[in-house]
């Protein structure tokens, strides 16, 4: 795998990019090499190696021997002077600091709700906790969170690391590769809950509710469960009816709101089937993924599924196991309140889902209101940088958003009666122009 590269560029993207519609181009931007090459065999597909802090103005990326923290404002200012399409070394692009992590390879980079606490998930399953505000090259972690004893396998790795979005700002949900998860208070090291699932019932994906008071988990046999913080199940959702003839596990969950999720169902196959006894890849994962948006009214048991078609096609590094990255852009406009950007291994392309207030479409099991796939016209959509033209051997290993603009955007259609899309505000949820930062191999 090649080095992590970062792209940082202003974008304006407010409408479905198809014929007959006015468009704004999503710019391709410039690149910077910020690490030495990352070895494929020790960088699993489930890694997430990038985070950005709008509050503290920095980008954090994992490297071969630690992390690097970059001043985004300085980087952005210097980047404007760089020739389009060039790949300058990071030394030419402003203030940054490399921080060694001798405890082991970093597999996950995440920030707490207020962005002051940096969480680094290691290959060993341990989590290092740092204060981002005082972080230097000589900083020691505030504490180290071991794999909880109740997980059962102290040697398992971290598949996902998700800090609580609101109610419990010091809590992180940690999903392990053996199919169990824990809720851990990273300020006190208290393990509030550990699941006891296993076998066909093991957890393969999870996501917090909007307020952080519940979790949505996905299982190996394709069931979705809404769970309280003590693990009790408050709602079960079976797989969509058009998957009944095939066996799929839940590969990814993204919360849209309390009444809807984006869910990816992947072919059910244990990861161990892809490796020989020596631990080397024996064959490629199937990459047979189906993306759905789920919607249900509060208190109503009937769930409507909307199949989203072909998103993030698997044309990159085929031996990478599947992982999806997502960003939701809120308050985007009157007719399009939200846009979801998706990236996935192994794909060099991005997918876009848009919430529309003016449409209804036929779902798998009924009329579905509001969400559609946006197909970008040739040359308008972003793609990961490639080593050689025409070479699709690339894979995303992180996706993050840095809110930088203070300028509102006018409506996409000048004849429309829509208000301007507001500029980014301190709440960090209403961007009009955004800077995107992508980590990729």
Query: Strand order in 50-53's β-sheet?
Result: 50-53, 58-62, 66-71, 96-100
Residues 309, 315, 319: CA angle, nearest 5 degrees = 115
- Give me the tens of pLDDT residue by residue for the chain, a chain 441 residues long: 444 444 433 333 333 323 223 233 333 455 667 777 788 778 888 999 999 998 898 989 999 999 999 888 787 777 667 666 666 666 666 788 999 999 999 999 999 999 999 999 999 999 999 999 999 999 999 999 999 998 877 778 999 999 999 999 999 999 999 999 999 999 999 999 999 776 778 999 999 998 999 999 999 889 999 999 999 999 898 888 888 667 788 999 988 766 667 788 886 654 444 444 444 445 556 677 888 888 776 554 677 888 887 788 776 666 777 888 988 887 777 778 888 888 888 787 788 888 887 777 665 555 556 777 877 665 555 666 554 445 556 778 888 877 665 555 555 555 656 565 555 432 222 222 223 333 333
Nearest to 125 by CA among 88, 180, 195, 70: 180
341, 311 in Cβ contact below 8 A?
Answer: no
Which domains are delineated in the chain? 5-440 (2.130.10.10)
pTM for the full predicted model: 0.82
Q: Cα(116)–Cα(106) distance, rounded to whole angstroms?
A: 19
């Amino acid at each position: 795998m090649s080095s992590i590269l970062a792209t940082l560029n202003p974008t304006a993207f407010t409408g479905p990019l198809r014929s007959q519609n006015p468009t704004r181009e999503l710019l391709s931007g410039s690149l910077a090499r910020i690490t030495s090459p990352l070895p494929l065999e020790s960088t699993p597909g489930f890694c997430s190696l990038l985070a950005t802090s709008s509050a503290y103005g920095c980008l954090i990326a994992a490297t071969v021997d630690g992390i690097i923290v970059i001043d985004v404002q300085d980087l952005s200012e210097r980047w404007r002077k760089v020739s389009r399409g060039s790949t300058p070394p990071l030394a030419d692009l402003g203030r940054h600091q490399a921080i060694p992590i001798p405890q082991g390879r970093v597999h996950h980079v995440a920030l707490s709700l207020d962005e002051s606490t940096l969480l680094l998930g290691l290959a060993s399953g341990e989590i290092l906790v740092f204060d981002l505000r005082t972080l230097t090259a000589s900083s020691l972690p505030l504490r180290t969170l071991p794999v909880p004893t109740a997980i059962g396998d102290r040697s398992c790795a971290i598949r996902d690391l998700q800090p609580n979005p609101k109610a419990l700002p010091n809590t992180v949900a940690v999903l392990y590769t053996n199919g169990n998860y824990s809720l851990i208070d990273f300020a006190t090291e208290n393990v509030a809950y550990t699941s006891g699932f296993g076998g066909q019932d093991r957890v393969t994906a999870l996501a917090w509710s909007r307020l952080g008071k519940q979790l949505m988990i996905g299982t190996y046999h394709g069931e979705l469960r809404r769970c309280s913080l003590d693990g009790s199940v408050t709602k079960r959702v079976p797989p969509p009816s058009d998957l009944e003839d095939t066996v799929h596990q839940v590969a990814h969950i993204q919360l849209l709101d309390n009444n809807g999720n984006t869910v990816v169902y992947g072919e059910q196959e244990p990861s161990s089937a892809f490796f020989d006894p020596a631990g080397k890849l024996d064959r490629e994962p199937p990459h047979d993924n189906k993306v759905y948006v789920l919607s249900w009214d509060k208190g109503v048991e009937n769930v409507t599924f909307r199949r989203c078609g072909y998103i993030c096609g698997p044309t990159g590094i085929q031996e990478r196991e599947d992982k999806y990255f997502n960003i939701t852009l809120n308050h985007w406009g009157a007719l399009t309140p939200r846009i979801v950007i998706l990236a996935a291994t192994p794909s060099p392309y991005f997918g876009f889902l848009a919430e529309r207030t003016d449409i209804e479409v036929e779902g798998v099991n009924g009329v579905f209101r509001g969400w559609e796939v946006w197909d970008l016209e040739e040359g308008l959509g972003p793609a990961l940088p490639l080593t050689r033209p025409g070479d699709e051997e690339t894979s995303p290993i992180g996706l993050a958003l840095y809110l930088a603009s203070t300028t509102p955007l006018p409506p996409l259609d000048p004849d429309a009666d829509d208000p301007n899309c507001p500029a980014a505000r301190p709440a960090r949820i209403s961007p009009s122009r955004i800077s995107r930062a992508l980590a990729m191999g």
